[in-house]
Amino acid sequence: MEEQQNQSADVKQKSPSRKTALLTLAGLLVSTSIFMSGWLFGSGKLTISTDRVVPTITKNDSVPTDGLDELYTKILNNYDGTLSEDDALNGMKSGLVGALDDPFSEYLTEEETTAFNESLNGTFEGIGAELSKEGNFVQVVAPIRGTPADRAGIQPQDIIIEIDGESATDITVSEAVERIRGPKGEEVVLTIIRDGEQLEVPIVRDTIEIASVEWEKRDDIGIITISRFGDDTSLLTRQAAEELKEQGVSSIVLDLRGNPGGLLDSSVSVSNVWLPKGSTVLEEKRGGEVIETFKTSGQPVLAGVPTVILINEGSASASEIVAGALRDNDAATIVGMTSFGKGSVQRLIPLSAGGSLKITIARWFTPDGISIDKEGIKPDTEVDLTAEDREADRDPQMDAAIQELSN
């Protein structure tokens, strides 16, 4: 979310603005410009892995330091301003990760790490939008339904060029999150580019509390809506499935629209609600070699129940894992628009000096061996939901899903 960085699948789980001068310093130190990463939660577009062995740095892998002392000294002696040691260190760490040129890897300060973890838990004060990085710009993955961003009309793929009148070019997602978040009741103005048009969108911040799973019964069709993949998502999805079956539903709509992702393990567990034990959910590859295959391990509640999955441009990461797994295993068809296309997995690694490293550790592939990175998942039935539809409170995508299940 914007609040959630696009972390989606995502982040594997184990057990801002900085001064322009500092950003420039970081860039110089590693000969690269600062860039960025994801639900606020997920995004953007998140999966955190913590059970892998991380290679240690040997003497032969030591960080090159040629010229750093000289550069630092000249900055201190010539810069018309002040530079604290903490700011210098944070700038160098950010710049080093920035040299990877990977939009989903970044160094997070202690404060940014706390905000990142809060986004996974689904409660924070802000506007409720998942952000990612597109070139030098911060891009909206999706607004979270019912939040201030959603009510203000923020849409997937909006490019944020200014935050409260200050440039948002060449900043990280974490920095954008820090500048956008703020106390409930205060306004933030986003200047965005949409379809070539520049717009100013004022948004009043609020407390964002997002239930990861909601469900309802319409006639004999059950509708399960998952807004993010957090710690409680698989348990709530299984509860929803059991209650809907007890109510006699004959089919299911799984709504993953605007879901920016979240925890990888959660996406595997959610897939287990539909897929028999031992079914492949995804493969992870590094350097083209399979390093891990994720399979279901429990008893499916909805095995054999006709299911349609709804996706859109804001469905990313863990959402794409579930959609790809269910379709490739012939457990569901897909309606909506092509998804975001985040086919990488990040790991959040705590650092002994404080803060953390969010870094891409692998690429993931659907059970049929398909990479959706930058391509997204294409629906079986393409149905758009326009701004006019939203204003008129119409949902042709949901209508199409229900129609397909009713045939």
Show the 3-state SS of the chain.
CCCEECCCCCEECCCCCCCHHHHHHHHHHHCCCCCCCCCCCCCCCCEECCCCCCCCCCHHHCCCCCCHHHHHHHHHHHCCCCCCHHHHHHHHHHHHHHCCCCCCCEEECHHHHHHHHHHHHCEEEECCEEEEEECCEEEEEEECCCCHHHHCCCCCCCEEEEECCEECCCCCHHHHHHHHCCCCCCEEEEEEEECCEEEEEEEECEEEECCCEEEEEECCEEEEEECCECCCHHHHHHHHHHHHHHCCCCEEEEECCCCCCEEHHHHHHHHCCCCCCCCEEEEEEECCEEEEEEECCCCCCCCCCCEEEEECCCCCCHHHHHHHHHHHCCCCEEEECCCCCCCEEEEEEECCCCCEEEEEEEEEECCCCCCCCCCCCCCCEECCCCHHHHHCCCCHHHHHHHHHHHC
Angle at CA of residue 389, ends 387 and 392, nearest 5°: 110
Spatial neighbors of 53 by CB under 8 A, at least 6 apart, are none
Give the pLDDT confidence score for residue 107 in this predicted structure.
94
Closest CA to 6 of 49, 34, 43: 43
126, 60 in Cβ contact below 8 A?
Answer: no
174 is catalytic: no
Q: How many CB atoms lie within 10 A of CB 395?
A: 17
Give the pLDDT confidence score for residue 62 in this predicted structure.
66
Give the pLDDT confidence score for residue 230 in this predicted structure.
87
Which of 317, 319, 344, 356 is flagged as catalytic? 317
342 is catalytic: yes
Give the pLDDT confidence score for residue 311 in this predicted structure.
98
CA-based radius of gyration for the chain: 21
317 is catalytic: yes
Give the pLDDT confidence score for residue 4 in this predicted structure.
42
End-to-end C-alpha distance for the chain, whole angstroms: 37
Give the pLDDT confidence score for residue 35 in this predicted structure.
24
Give the pLDDT confidence score for residue 70 in this predicted structure.
92
Give the pLDDT confidence score for residue 11 in this predicted structure.
57
Which of 43, 267, 328, 344 is flagged as catalytic? 328
Where in the sequence of the chain do the CATH 3.90.226.10 domains occur? 210-342+364-406
Where in the sequence of the chain do the CATH 2.30.42.10 domains occur? 4-57+66-207
Give the pLDDT confidence score for residue 3 in this predicted structure.
44
Per-residue confidence in pLDDT tens, the chain, 407 aa: 344 443 344 555 443 333 333 222 222 222 222 222 222 223 333 333 333 333 344 445 666 778 888 999 999 999 999 999 999 999 999 999 989 989 889 999 998 888 777 766 666 789 988 888 888 899 998 888 788 999 999 998 899 999 999 999 989 888 898 899 999 999 999 999 999 999 999 999 998 877 789 999 999 999 999 988 988 899 999 999 999 999 999 999 999 998 988 899 999 999 999 999 999 999 999 998 999 999 999 899 999 999 999 999 989 999 999 999 999 999 999 999 999 999 999 999 999 999 999 999 999 999 999 999 999 999 999 999 988 888 888 999 999 999 999 98
pTM of the full structure: 0.73
Which of 119, 342, 356, 358 is flagged as catalytic? 342
Give the pLDDT confidence score for residue 326 in this predicted structure.
98
Give the pLDDT confidence score for residue 135 in this predicted structure.
84
Report, at the CATH architecture level, how domain 210-342+364-406 is classified: Alpha-Beta Complex (3.90)
Report, at the CATH architecture level, how domain 4-57+66-207 is classified: Roll (2.30)
